[in-house]
């Protein structure tokens, strides 16, 4: 187990326009650099002088009792992110609730219907704007939820392989639970970024959420389940309405289609 001690010359501070601080710790009696880094991270304060940790540099500087000695230099600043257990700044989080247009063919329920005296209004089982040619439906506003995660990556880690992973997961849905959402509820919409000096790259990952639905009812069809980003559509056929004495269009079958591929979002490196 590594022994950790703070350097005598640690805690150098800059109180200028861009405040910063530098803390230096040593890990003794440990040859494994990952264990040494974890030990130093555990010893670092979560905040210092109102600043948050931004990065950690680790280097071997000698030996002690046949084991290596590592020096860790932690830099603190006003960024909104902090260091994770891996030594990288953890992602910051932003979100937005809103709405977007969608066309629906079925209502939640038919509240009432009217017909001339002596006649009965045809029962279309919730189908909206039924014509002789089909079901036109109606445009409505549906709620939406989107969020973004901002991650800071060392330039050395922003490799071609990592970039290809991001590109390959774009417009896919999560194949496992991701940030509290079950599989296929979250769609990865892509990422954008910029370099930060000569050390870090800032990447903004964008996601959209479509909740899983269960117990749906379409006409006389019940027990329907739809995963978040799957597509549900209804097949209508002519049926006889014995009460209204005429042919009507009613839901005959409901289909749930997978239209987005799934992917492992762990490859993005923004948590699970």
CB within 8 A of 187, min separation 6: which ones? Answer: 171, 172, 173, 207, 208, 209, 210, 228, 229, 260
Of 220, 245, 55, which is closest to residue 152 (Cα–Cα)?
Answer: 55
Altogether, the residues listed in the chain come to a count of 272
Q: What tens digit of pLDDT does each residue of 115-154 get? A: 888 888 888 888 899 888 889 889 888 777 899 998 888 8
pLDDT at position 90 is 57
Tell me the pLDDT of the chain (272 aa) as tens digits.
Answer: 678 999 988 998 888 778 889 999 999 888 888 788 888 888 888 778 878 777 888 888 888 777 889 999 988 887 544 455 455 555 666 777 776 787 888 888 888 888 888 888 888 888 899 888 889 889 888 777 899 998 888 888 888 899 999 999 999 999 999 988 999 999 999 999 887 555 678 889 999 999 999 999 999 999 999 999 999 999 998 888 888 888 888 999 999 999 999 999 999 998 87
User: Could you give the 3-state DSSP secondary structure of residue 43?
Assistant: helix
Phi-psi region of 124 (alpha: psi -120 to 50; beta: other; left: phi over 0): alpha
pLDDT at position 100 is 72
59-69 burial code (b ≥16 CB/10 A, e <16): eeeeeeeebbb
pLDDT at position 202 is 83
Contact 186, 174 (CB under 8 A): yes
pLDDT at position 142 is 75
Pairing state of beta strands 173-174 and 262-263? parallel
């Amino acid at each position: 187990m590594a022994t950790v001690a703070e350097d005598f010359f640690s805690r150098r501070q800059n109180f200028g326009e861009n405040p910063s601080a530098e803390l230096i710790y040593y890990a003794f009696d440990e040859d494994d650099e990952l264990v040494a880094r974890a030990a130093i991270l555990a010893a670092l304060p979560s905040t210092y002088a109102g600043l948050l940790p931004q990065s950690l540099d680790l280097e071997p500087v000698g030996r002690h009792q046949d084991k290596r000695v590592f020096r860790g230099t932690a830099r603190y600043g006003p960024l909104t992110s902090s260091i994770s257990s891996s030594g990288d700044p953890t992602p910051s989080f932003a979100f937005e609730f809103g709405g977007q247009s969608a066309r629906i063919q079925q209502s939640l329920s038919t509240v009432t219907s009217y017909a001339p005296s002596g006649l009965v209004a045809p029962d279309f089982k919730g189908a909206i704007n039924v014509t002789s040619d089909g079901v036109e439906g109606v445009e409505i506003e549906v709620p939406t939820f989107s969020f973004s995660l901002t991650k800071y990556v060392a330039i050395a880690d922003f490799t071609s392989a990592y970039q290809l992973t991001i590109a390959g997961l774009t417009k896919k849905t999560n194949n496992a639970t991701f940030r509290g959402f079950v599989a296929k509820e979250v769609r990865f919409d892509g990422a954008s970024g910029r370099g930060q000096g000569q050390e870090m790259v800032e990447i903004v990952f964008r996601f959209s959420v479509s909740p899983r639905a269960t117990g749906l009812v379409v006409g006389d069809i019940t027990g329907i389940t739809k995963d978040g980003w799957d597509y549900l559509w209804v097949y209508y056929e002519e049926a006889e309405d014995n009460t209204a004495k005429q042919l009507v269009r009613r839901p005959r079958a409901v289909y749930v289609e997978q239209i987005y591929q799934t992917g492992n979002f762990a490859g993005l490196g923004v948590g699970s």
